[in-house]
Amino acid sequence: MLCGRMTHSPAPKSLGIASWNVNGLRAAANKGFLQWLAATPAEIVGVQEVRAPLEALPDELRAPEGWHTSFVAAQRKGYSGVGLYARLPPAELQSSLQQRAFDAEARVLMARWGRLRVVNGYFPNGNGKERDNSRVPFKLRFYKHLFQLLQPAFERGEPIVVLGDFNTAHAEIDLARPKQNAKTSGFLSNERAELGRWLEAGWVDTFRHLHPGPGHYSWWSQRMGARERNVGWRIDYVLASPGAARFLLDARIEHEVMGSDHCPVSVTLDRRVLDPG
């Protein structure tokens, strides 16, 4: 029998966080979601548009080995919903925005690990049932309400990351065909201005901070080979408060990952973002 000194792997120096609008979690599972989850270096993963209550998710999606999970489902069947997968259990977890209309659509999960607050959000689309932009006022109220809810922690300098499907392309560089979409929800001037208000207030668009060039998109129409031709929109973001942005190491759009009409977006932070201030 051989005996030897036990060795330990060094503690990781970085923290990976990823976001993915899966366009139906059960559908994404049939297209490789769990394989992607097992392979991702991210330790915190937010998913949007889950479209299923917890009891409808199979065990391998609801509680995969090695992950702590949380889900919130919309009152309307097959609609909206967000979830969090994390290698470590969060110290805090909250799903209410303290407004019934928003909570009914299950659009937010807010969690804390150490000092770091992570907000996983599925921001509303401005299109109504007739694709008539009738939901734009609701969408803008959601943006403003979440902004105000986070403002006290933001002003205290706390590290905060807001990730998810923002359903808005901020600038012309963020979609392939800006002129043709000037009157389309997702690129309306008032929607862009509301997202711009976050950035002007000091929130950092992590991907654009590191990658200023064109041609980077996170959503593509499923019609006419848009993804193959890279005719897309960048509507999935990871925004960081100044308290989190100073720990930013990398930001990626994982355009090679299939399984949804969106692809994952991710950031890597210095792990000291978790430490007490």
Is residue 141 included in any domain, yes or no?
Answer: yes
pLDDT tens-digit series, residues 31-42: 999 999 999 999
Distances (CA, A) of 30 to 26, 27, 87, 260: 7, 5, 23, 10
Domain count, the chain: 1
Residue 49 lies in a domain: yes
Residue with tokens 């792997």: 9
The verdict on residue 5 lying in a domain is no
In a domain, residue 192? The reply is yes
Average of per-residue pLDDT across 219-232? 96
Sheet with 82-86: list strands edge to edge.
68-72, 82-86, 44-48, 14-21, 265-270, 248-253
Q: Do 226 and 263 touch, CB atoms closer than 8 A? A: no
* Residue 2 belongs to some domain of the structure: no
Flag whether pLDDT at 2 surpasses 50: no
pTM of the predicted structure, to 2 decimals: 0.94
> What per-residue confidence (pLDDT) applies to 10?
54
What CATH number is given to the structural domain containing 30? 3.60.10.10
Domain-embedded: residue 96:
yes
Which residues are known catalytic residues?
165
pLDDT in tens, 59-85: 999 999 999 999 999 999 999 999 999
Q: What one-character-per-residue DSSP string does 63-119 give? A: S-TT-EEEEE--SSTTS--EEEEESS--SEEE---S-HHHHTTT-EEEEEETTEEEE
Tens-digit pLDDT profile for residues 152-176: 999 999 999 999 999 999 999 999 9
What's the rounded mean pLDDT across residues 232-253? 98
The boundaries of the domain holding residue 187 are 14-274
Q: What is the pLDDT of residue 12?
A: 80
Burial profile 204-243: b = 16 or more Cβ within 10 angstroms, e = fewer? bbbbbeeeeeeebbbbbeeeeebbeeeebbbbbbbbbbeb
Residue 173 in domain: yes
22 assigned to some structural domain = yes
Q: Rounded mean pLDDT of the chain?
A: 95
Q: Nearest CA to 267 among 234, 237, 235, 243?
A: 237
